[in-house]
Structure 1
Amino acid sequence: MFKNLVITSFLGMFAIVLGAFGSHALKELLTLDQLLSFETAVRYQMYHVLVLLFVNTFEGFTAKQKNRISYLFFLGILFFSCSIYAIQLTSITAKSIWFITPLGGLFFIIGWLSMIMIFVKKIREHVK
């Protein structure tokens, strides 16, 4: 669990650094559309960092559930946000890695779905 919190904290710090970098250094280098795309990647990364903090400190999840959800969101950040960073900051084109960003989105969706399933199961157990 603490390993997940260390990774989460690093990803949160990194989101802040990238957000500052984007709003200051990239204003002159990227088009408005590119900057908006970069900001979307930072925003999704930070949203999922906040969810990861909840997941890994919530006592209602087992260690196995925390790890599963964490890995899904870590992969989501890696594939979704990092692919957008790569497209906007390097010569890599969206055409060359078109499948990476949506795959990251799919990891996010599966992570959220996993949480929904856990909560629904808990509701059913509580009602019995």
Structure 2
Amino acid sequence: MPRLITKPSVVEAAGNKPKIIEEFIGRINSGTDQVSIARMTSPGGWIEPGQTPEFDEYTIVLKGLLRVTTKTDTFDVVAGEAIITYKGEWVQYSTPLSEGAEYMAICLPAFSPEMVHRDT
């Protein structure tokens, strides 16, 4: 039977500035551990610690620019574009432009703080 999700849960974000994470589907909001789907709203100048997650992350940028840095490349992902990052690979996300960014993040399996392995 279908299950309606009427509102997201706001989840605490890592980084140097306040970022809003609205989890619609995932471990916190729906008790789902197979996948998480969240809308991210990041201010300009936001950067989070690098991480080596135990999940693949599929990201679709809705507004602004999301910078995705790996050990070998830097990608500037703009509205209408998407990027896939893979488990076990180091990655860092940031929103360097003043307008910030809004994007959807889908993680398989679902995001958890224990599985993200952020740099200290």
- Which structure has the highest helix share of the two? 1
Scaled to the shorter chain, the TM-score interval is: under 0.3
Structure showing greater relative contact order (alpha-carbon pairs closer than 8 Å, 6 or more residues apart): 2
Give the structure-2-normalised TM-score: 0.24
- Which is higher, the Rg of structure 1 or of structure 2? 1
Larger strand percent: 2
